[in-house]
Chains A and B, each alone.
Chain A
Amino acid sequence: MISLRRIAEERSGMLFHAASSILIFLIWRIAGMPSPGLLGRLIPLSWLITALLYGKGGIPKLSVYLLTVFAVFSLFWTVNTGFEVISAACALMGIFPGLMSVSSRRFGILLALLPLIPLILLLVPFTGDEPHFASITERLVSPQTGRFSEYSSQLGDPRAGISHHQSLYPALMIPGYPLSVPGMRGMNLLFAVAAMVLLSKILRDSGLNNWKQLSVLGFFLVPGCSILGLVYPGWLALAVFLSAVYLYSKSKKSIWVITAAIILVLIKFRFIGLSAGLLAALLIEYRGKRKLLLFAALVSFVAAGLLFDLLLLNGRIFWVRYGNMSFIKVVLLQPLYRTPEVLLAAGSSLADIESGLLWKAPWVLAGFAGLNILKNRNRTLFLWLGLPALFYFLILVFWNPNEWSGMPTPAGRMLLPLLPVLLASLGMVWKRKGVKLLIWISLGISAVYFTYPVLRFNFADGSDSLVSRISGHFSSITDILPSALRFNLPLFAGWMMFALFVIILLKRKNRYIQYAVTSVFLLSCILGGLEKSVWEAEDIPSEYRDYCSIYPFETDLESRKFWLFSREKMLMLGDPADAVVLPVPEDAGDSLKLTVLFRSLSEGAETGIAVSSGEWRDSVYALSEVRDAPGWVSILRDTHLPSMPENLREVRSDFTIPSVDCGESIRIAPLGLDGRHGRYDGIYLDRILIR
């Protein structure tokens, strides 16, 4: 006779997940949380799917903890802006322990992904490059106008009729096209599954015990989850790259590597780094005469490929983009004249708040800590996964140091090719103190990105969407987080040092690692909770502004792409009615020091700023000079910079306001704009400091 008690004991995990699904559904509604029809259903659905997949097994303790946090915290979601985000993330995060356990079963890698598919297909906005890829797929299916035809051209297309994107990847999405966006996203999910199944086989063959869990983490963690299931070629490239590594390891036939190297370039030219890395690994594997022969064959092959592109493809792969002197000059200029920018790009891949992995995926610190162990224990794996990743990364930051991150598309997507080597090295330090902590913090961040995918998108404005949403406009936290755009060398270097310190502690198995991470976390929170004294002008919320507008208005980085000095946005005061009205700090002493950093542009009367607070008022008239173009620009072309806000030298004005005269707020307004002449005339505020 079937004993219900025995079933309940054996399948307690399954019953727990099913009961939790109902509980979350009810709590969501009882608490009155937002998006009951979508998030309030999709999260319980993901728990329910987890329950169905769970099979036999106990209740994961961590899931119980996370469910409890959600149940209690959902009571308070109305108390602060952004709390609903944390609440929803806790609710979703509760399925991860169960999915990690599911991953060790047969077809576990595929099964662990299933609960997240509804969230990916229904929540992530169809934006960025996705519609452009979809429009190319559509054109390949039917030359007539279709649902994506309005996206057929894009900024950055090298020539009319030749898309910035190539056709191989869109062609592979044709099977999904009849189902529209979900169909094409489904194809990309298949590419991701293929990539992670291949990685799991590579890791298994290399003797790593937790190969399935590591592969599943590839889906759940940034950079993997950034574009998981989205219409971007990253996962396909990863699948091709890993298939070459796997097939070569099995057959030792170089044809697999060479074929993959060609396909990668045809998917997207950016992946040429992966191709180069694969071929370099192949060259290292070869010995003696064979090495020379292979090298000669590769050089001839590349030359033949370039000729083929020029003569038969009308240069659409290489020549139309890079076959000109300007490009060659730019390539030469990067290391000689723009070294700081290239170095900053490399550093920002880790530390920048908008695109750096330290903030989206702190688990990578453990990955870096394990690299040396991976090299010592399994040199072949290190070589085949590491070298392509290294080549890719170097070309990425070298190629375009200002735009390597691909913003405003999902943060981390450009670093996807680094995932296999980092996961392999993570496997080497898996059991060390502090590693699990980093992984679970990263999973928490991923849970936010799965539930509120819009927070994955940053706009290269110096502030991170997730941090801003949770901390609000009035938090000081943004002042202590490093940004490549609002570059502050001590701050940036400090965070880089911290990352390095954690890597060293992890590498040395130091038991104080958790104290170090906790101290920095708590210190950042304490400082972030202090009263705001530094205002980045473009971040000043509308309650503290009378009119004003952001310069440039476009959110895309494209309009700031060719700015030579700083790509930071500014707050434009272009009308006499425009003003900024900031609160006076609570703990002001005898006097208040106010510093305003701005640019002043006028083709007519002299302009400046008027500052007032209570009975006190003062004003400054100033006109900013146009800066000289950097030396490297004049090598490219003879350039005289136009009088535009981005080319102006900054003016710094200091004011001291006696506390007795000070009102409750400080007003900063433009002067001399009554008879405005030029289109860009105005005051461009950069930063305001109140001490």
Chain B
Amino acid sequence: MLLMNKGNLLFALSISLGVFILHGFSFFTIAVSLYSAGTALVRGNRAVTVISIIAGGLALLFVRTGGASALLMTGAVFAVLFSDRIISRYLFALSSAAILFSGVLSGIIPLAASLIAASHVKSDKWRAAVLAGGILGVLIIFGPPSTYIHRSAVSEELLAEGQVIWPAPSELNLGMRELFLEAPGIEPDCITLKVYAGGVRDNDPVGSAISGDRVFSVYPGENTLIIEEPEFPISIKITRTWKPFSHPVIFFEYAEASI
């Protein structure tokens, strides 16, 4: 059986080798190798192989962020659900275990466990049920998986006549929770920030703006924050955590500070 896929396996092996050479030996590279071997052995609709390759390939593009692990997990869940060959399913399940041990993603234990459990199951429907249980388990116990890598954005600052301005609007959401305003080497007298917030079903603060020890709440709707003698960097962040049917968002429009 394996010999029938020797071309695919050789292909997977060369990819794994390339990843080991370029990224070194780690749980992530082990996960990539297991994933590529699993993809080489997928049996079923051609689209299953193609989608697995695309997910795995894109994962290689996001090696330096948590994105790679997320894509491999997605591809593994998909392939375990739709691959008709048990060895291929095992390999995908093992790949998810390697991702779990790499520790990049938090809260994926139920999903990895359901993948291992589902890979034994012959019936498509039962496999789907076990995997759905895993996904629900993740949501109920931990909430959507997140990375330990802190992601934040820095707003572009410009020096103008007698002031520093941050002209570029940016949107904060649960995917990008924090925005920093910096004014390297300059201490302005006062800064004015214009931000909008929303996406929640109550009137409690959606986030906050932090300057040194001072914290200013950002409420749903329009907020104009004036901070005297600000300390940099100023952080604007979403303080809400994930909750179903809630989409917290802060829209930073601009800020200006007089020097």
User: Which residues on A are within 8 Å of B, measured CB to CB?
Assistant: 29-34, 36, 61-62, 65, 68-69, 71-73, 75-81, 83-84, 86, 437, 440, 471-472, 474-475, 477, 515, 518-519, 521-523, 525-526, 528-531, 541-543, 545-547, 549, 575, 577-579
CB distance from A199 to the nearest CB of B (A): 28
A65 contacts B60, C-beta separation under 8 Å: no
On chain B, the residues within 8 Å of A77 by CB distance are 144, 175
Q: Bound complex: CA of A350 vs CA of B39, how far in Å?
A: 31
A76 contacts B60, C-beta separation under 8 Å: no
B144 contacts A78, C-beta separation under 8 Å: yes
Given contacts A29-B244, A526-B18, contact A34 B175 (CB under 8 A): yes
B144 contacts A68, C-beta separation under 8 Å: no
On chain B, the residues within 8 Å of A530 by CB distance are 22
Given contacts A65-B48, A80-B67, contact A547 B184 (CB under 8 A): yes
B51 contacts A65, C-beta separation under 8 Å: yes
A80 contacts B47, C-beta separation under 8 Å: no
Chain B 7-51, CB within 8 Å of chain A: the 1/0 string? 100010001001100110000000000000000000001011011
Q: Pick 17 A–B contacts, CB within 8 A, sort by A.
A: A32-B174, A65-B51, A81-B151, A471-B61, A471-B62, A475-B61, A515-B7, A521-B54, A522-B15, A523-B18, A525-B58, A526-B15, A526-B19, A526-B60, A528-B60, A546-B182, A546-B184
Q: Can you add 19 more A-B contacts, CB < 8 Å, to A72-B78, A543-B153?
A: A30-B244, A32-B243, A34-B171, A61-B47, A65-B45, A68-B81, A69-B74, A71-B135, A78-B242, A83-B67, A440-B50, A477-B61, A522-B15, A522-B57, A523-B18, A526-B15, A529-B62, A529-B63, A543-B180
A65 contacts B78, C-beta separation under 8 Å: yes
On chain A, the residues within 8 Å of B63 by CB distance are 529
Closest to B241 in A: A32
Given contacts A72-B78, A522-B60, A547-B159, contact A80 B199 (CB under 8 A): no
CB distance from A453 to the nearest CB of B (A): 16
- Residue among A34, A546, A579 making CB contact with B173, cutoff 8 Å: A34
- Residue among B57, B70, B156 making CB contact with A525, cutoff 8 Å: B57
Given contacts A80-B62, A528-B61, contact A62 B47 (CB under 8 A): yes
A29 contacts B64, C-beta separation under 8 Å: no
In B163-213, the 8 Å CB interface with A consists of: 168, 171, 173-176, 180, 182, 184-186, 199
Q: Does B85 have its Cβ within 8 Å of any Cβ on chain A?
A: no
CB distance from A440 to the nearest CB of B (A): 8
B74 contacts A529, C-beta separation under 8 Å: no
On chain A, the residues within 8 Å of B19 by CB distance are 526
A34 contacts B249, C-beta separation under 8 Å: yes
Q: Does B246 have its Cβ within 8 Å of any Cβ on chain A?
A: yes
On chain A, the residues within 8 Å of B184 by CB distance are 546-547, 577, 579
B185 contacts A32, C-beta separation under 8 Å: no
Q: Across chains A and B, which 7 residue pairs bring their CB atoms closest together, nearest first?
A: A80-B67, A76-B70, A543-B154, A542-B156, A529-B63, A525-B60, A546-B184
Q: Does B141 have its Cβ within 8 Å of any Cβ on chain A?
A: no
Interface of B, secondary structure class, is mixed
Closest to B62 in A: A80
Q: Bound complex: CA of A126 vs CA of B159, how far in Å?
A: 32
Q: Does B102 have its Cβ within 8 Å of any Cβ on chain A?
A: no
Given contacts A36-B199, A526-B60, contact A76 B154 (CB under 8 A): no
A472 contacts B65, C-beta separation under 8 Å: yes
Closest to A514 in B: B50
B50 contacts A33, C-beta separation under 8 Å: no
Closest to A80 in B: B67
Counting chain A CB atoms within 10 Å of each CB, the highest count among B45, B74, B77 belongs to B74
Q: Bound complex: CA of A80 vs CA of B61, how far in Å?
A: 12
On chain B, the residues within 8 Å of A73 by CB distance are 70, 74
CB distance from B216 to the nearest CB of A (A): 22
Q: Bound complex: CA of A464 vs CA of B99, how far in Å?
A: 31
B176 contacts A81, C-beta separation under 8 Å: yes
Q: Bound complex: CA of A108 vs CA of B135, how far in Å?
A: 38
Counting chain A CB atoms within 10 Å of each CB, the highest count among B61, B64, B147 belongs to B61
Closest to B67 in A: A80
Given contacts A68-B81, A474-B64, contact A30 B245 (CB under 8 A): yes
B147 contacts A32, C-beta separation under 8 Å: no
Q: Bound complex: CA of A638 vs CA of B244, how far in Å?
A: 68
On chain A, the residues within 8 Å of B185 by CB distance are 546, 577
Given contacts A32-B243, A61-B47, contact A525 B61 (CB under 8 A): yes
On chain B, the residues within 8 Å of A477 by CB distance are 61
On chain A, the residues within 8 Å of B171 by CB distance are 34
Q: Does B103 have its Cβ within 8 Å of any Cβ on chain A?
A: no
On chain A, the residues within 8 Å of B50 by CB distance are 437, 440
Given contacts A68-B81, A69-B74, A547-B184, contact A33 B51 (CB under 8 A): no
Closest to B248 in A: A32
A30 contacts B139, C-beta separation under 8 Å: yes
Interface of A, secondary structure class, is helix
Q: Does B158 have its Cβ within 8 Å of any Cβ on chain A?
A: yes
On chain A, the residues within 8 Å of B199 by CB distance are 36
CB distance from B61 to the nearest CB of A (A): 5
CB distance from A383 to the nearest CB of B (A): 36
On chain B, the residues within 8 Å of A29 by CB distance are 244-245, 247
Counting chain A CB atoms within 10 Å of each CB, the highest count among B22, B62, B68, B78 belongs to B62
A529 contacts B151, C-beta separation under 8 Å: no
On chain B, the residues within 8 Å of A80 by CB distance are 62, 65-67, 70, 175
A79 contacts B147, C-beta separation under 8 Å: yes
- Residue among A62, A75, A515 making CB contact with B138, cutoff 8 Å: A75
Closest to B23 in A: A529
Q: Does B231 have its Cβ within 8 Å of any Cβ on chain A?
A: no
On chain B, the residues within 8 Å of A515 by CB distance are 7, 11
Q: Does B155 have its Cβ within 8 Å of any Cβ on chain A?
A: yes
On chain B, the residues within 8 Å of A61 by CB distance are 45, 47
Q: Bound complex: CA of A31 vs CA of B53, how far in Å?
A: 25
On chain A, the residues within 8 Å of B145 by CB distance are 75-76, 79
B157 contacts A542, C-beta separation under 8 Å: yes
Counting chain B CB atoms within 10 Å of each CB, the highest count among A72, A471, A477, A575 belongs to A72
Q: Bound complex: CA of A416 vs CA of B187, how far in Å?
A: 53
B159 contacts A78, C-beta separation under 8 Å: no
Given contacts A75-B144, A526-B18, contact A68 B78 (CB under 8 A): yes
On chain B, the residues within 8 Å of A528 by CB distance are 60-61
Closest to A77 in B: B175
A78 contacts B174, C-beta separation under 8 Å: yes
CB distance from A417 to the nearest CB of B (A): 31
Q: Bound complex: CA of A34 vs CA of B170, how far in Å?
A: 14
A32 contacts B78, C-beta separation under 8 Å: no
Q: Bound complex: CA of A577 vs CA of B63, how far in Å?
A: 34
CB distance from A530 to the nearest CB of B (A): 6
B78 contacts A529, C-beta separation under 8 Å: no
A79 contacts B155, C-beta separation under 8 Å: no
Q: Does B92 have its Cβ within 8 Å of any Cβ on chain A?
A: no
A577 contacts B244, C-beta separation under 8 Å: no
CB distance from A122 to the nearest CB of B (A): 18
Q: Does B146 have its Cβ within 8 Å of any Cβ on chain A?
A: yes
CB distance from B3 to the nearest CB of A (A): 18
On chain A, the residues within 8 Å of B247 by CB distance are 29, 32-34, 36
CB distance from A137 to the nearest CB of B (A): 31
- Residue among A32, A76, A518 making CB contact with B246, cutoff 8 Å: A32
On chain B, the residues within 8 Å of A440 by CB distance are 47, 50
Q: Does B94 have its Cβ within 8 Å of any Cβ on chain A?
A: no
B155 contacts A542, C-beta separation under 8 Å: yes
A69 contacts B157, C-beta separation under 8 Å: no
Q: Does B98 have its Cβ within 8 Å of any Cβ on chain A?
A: no
- Residue among A69, A471, A522, A577 making CB contact with B78, cutoff 8 Å: A69
Q: Bound complex: CA of A588 vs CA of B73, how far in Å?
A: 32
A32 contacts B159, C-beta separation under 8 Å: no
Q: Bound complex: CA of A77 vs CA of B248, how far in Å?
A: 14
B158 contacts A84, C-beta separation under 8 Å: no
Counting chain A CB atoms within 10 Å of each CB, the highest count among B51, B81, B138, B146 belongs to B51
B158 contacts A547, C-beta separation under 8 Å: yes
On chain A, the residues within 8 Å of B57 by CB distance are 518, 521-522, 525
B65 contacts A75, C-beta separation under 8 Å: no
